[in-house]
């Protein structure tokens, strides 16, 4: 790699500054909306004191939660793969000497034999990042903007100038939820004064123009935010990321679009945690470590019957497989052993029962 000179360093600094423009725009818009609503609408235009108090109290609650969740989404650093996924110096040296092909894959297979990795590339190879020189954990992807591998990467969002992934996905969802509620509340309480604007029922002051533009902005953002928030709610219910919605994860048996789905309840708990009192707060409560994820799939050879005998036969065949069964990390395995119902309605109950009896075997059969 060619050494970076002063020119490339200056370009990188310029790009970093430009990346903050959308965040600055949202911040300025939020500041103006506060002035327009709290000052010009509530204090100047509202004549009923009770209405003023109720609107200001509800507004400030939504404003605080909106700013808090937005701040956490922006400034929570994305999590990167731990050191165990990085190749050693000897493995890197060996990998550089090998040409792309079976020998190259054999080096990666040996390095990944004890890692909780069950997804592959489209060609069935180990997922490896040349830039970061590491074996990618499941659901991890390299962000070209951050130039890093991000655990459970969803997408890089320019509006927060950050990667949305395992460490801040809950904050991003709450940011969408509170920003939508914020806009809907403003539009609903501003509507009657917006109508008065068109019927000449407002005094001829600068407040009337703030009231008009405030309603237009709130209504416009409500429409766009509702569709985006609804889409991410659907992703959470299916335990998918945006990247996985566009390209389904690939396991040893092939592509499976619902490979990580455990059922609605457990999918929600993976993102929001077990304690519901923290669900609505921008406090990290997601389950796991971002490197390993449970599934409830038990995939057998299509020619074998889905009977206990067939499952035992599959297990015997897997003994000589180059990827031995690797248990999930402790922080995630309880989702598989929980006594509650956790299967999707479309999944064969017999298969799920077999998978629950031996989570390690379940994981091996999925890869």
Q: What is the pTM of this model?
A: 0.81
| Residues annotated catalytic, as ranges | 157
Judge whether 270 and 287 are in contact, CB under 8 Å. Answer: yes
Tens of pLDDT, residue by residue, the chain (367 residues): 445 556 677 888 888 899 999 999 999 999 999 999 999 999 988 889 999 999 999 999 999 999 999 999 999 999 999 999 999 888 888 888 876 678 888 889 989 988 999 999 998 899 999 999 999 999 999 999 999 999 999 999 999 999 999 999 999 999 999 999 999 999 999 998 888 877 776 776 778 889 889 999 999 999 999 999 999 999 999 999 999 999 999 988 889 998 899 999 999 999 999 999 999 999 999 999 999 998 765 443 333 333 333 333 333 333 333 333 455 565 555 666 654 434 344 444 443 333 333 333 233 333 3
pLDDT score of 297: 57
pLDDT score of 360: 33
Three-class HEC string of the chain: CCCCCHHHHHHHHHHHHHHCHHHHHHHHHHHHHHHHHHHHHHHHHCCCHHHHHHHHHHHHHHHHHHHHHHHHHHHCCCCCCCHHHECCHHHHHHHHHCCCCHHHHHHHHHHHCCCCCCCECCCCCCCEECCCCEECCCCCEEECCCCEEECCCCEEECCCCEEECCCCHHHHHHHHHHHHHHHHHHHHHHHHHHHHHHCCCCCCCCHHHHHHHHHHHHHHHHHHHHHHHHHHHHHHHHCCCHHHHHCCCEECCEECCCCCCCCHHHHHHHHHCCCHHHCCCCCCCCCCCCCCCCCCCCCCCCCCCCCHHHHHHHHHHHCCCCCCCCCCCHHHHHHHHCCCCCCCCCCCHHHHHHHHHCHHHHHHHHC
Q: How many CB atoms lie within 10 A of CB 176?
A: 21
């Amino acid at each position: 790699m060619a050494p970076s000179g002063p020119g490339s360093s200056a370009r990188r600094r310029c790009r970093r500054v430009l990346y903050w423009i959308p965040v600055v725009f949202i911040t300025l818009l939020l500041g103006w909306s506060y002035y327009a609503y709290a000052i010009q609408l509530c204090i100047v235009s509202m004549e009923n004191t009770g209405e003023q108090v109720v609107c200001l109290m509800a507004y400030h609650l939504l404003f605080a939660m909106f700013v808090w969740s937005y701040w956490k989404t922006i400034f929570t650093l994305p999590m990167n793969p731990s050191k165990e996924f990085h190749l050693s110096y000897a493995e890197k040296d060996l990998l550089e000497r090998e040409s792309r092909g079976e020998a190259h894959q054999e080096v990666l297979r040996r390095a990944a034999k004890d890692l909780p990795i069950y997804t592959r590339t489209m060609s069935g190879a180990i997922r490896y990042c040349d830039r970061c020189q590491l074996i990618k954990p499941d659901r991890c992807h390299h962000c070209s903007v951050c130039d890093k591998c991000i655990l459970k990467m969803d997408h890089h969002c320019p509006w927060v100038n950050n990667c949305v992934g395992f460490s801040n996905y809950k904050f991003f969802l709450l940011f969408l939820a509170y920003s939508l509620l914020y806009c809907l509340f403003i539009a609903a309480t501003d509507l009657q004064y917006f109508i008065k604007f068109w019927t000449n029922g407002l005094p001829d002051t600068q407040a009337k123009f703030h009231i008009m533009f405030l309603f237009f902005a709130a209504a416009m953002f409500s429409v766009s935010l509702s569709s985006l928030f609804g889409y991410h709610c659907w992703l959470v219910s299916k335990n998918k990321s945006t990247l996985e919605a566009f390209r389904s994860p690939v396991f040893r048996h092939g592509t499976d679009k619902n490979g990580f789905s455990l059922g609605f309840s457990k999918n929600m708990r993976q993102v929001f945690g077990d304690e519901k009192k923290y669900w609505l707060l921008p406090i990290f409560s997601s389950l796991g470590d971002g490197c390993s994820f449970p599934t409830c799939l038990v995939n057998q050879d299509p020619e074998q019957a889905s009977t206990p005998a067939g499952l035992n036969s599959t297990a015997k065949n897997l003994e000589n497989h180059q990827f031995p069964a690797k248990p999930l990390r402790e922080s995630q395995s309880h989702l598989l052993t929980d006594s509650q119902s956790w299967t999707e309605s479309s999944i064969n109950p017999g298969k799920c029962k077999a998978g629950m009896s031996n989570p390690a075997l379940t994981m091996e059969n999925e890869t």
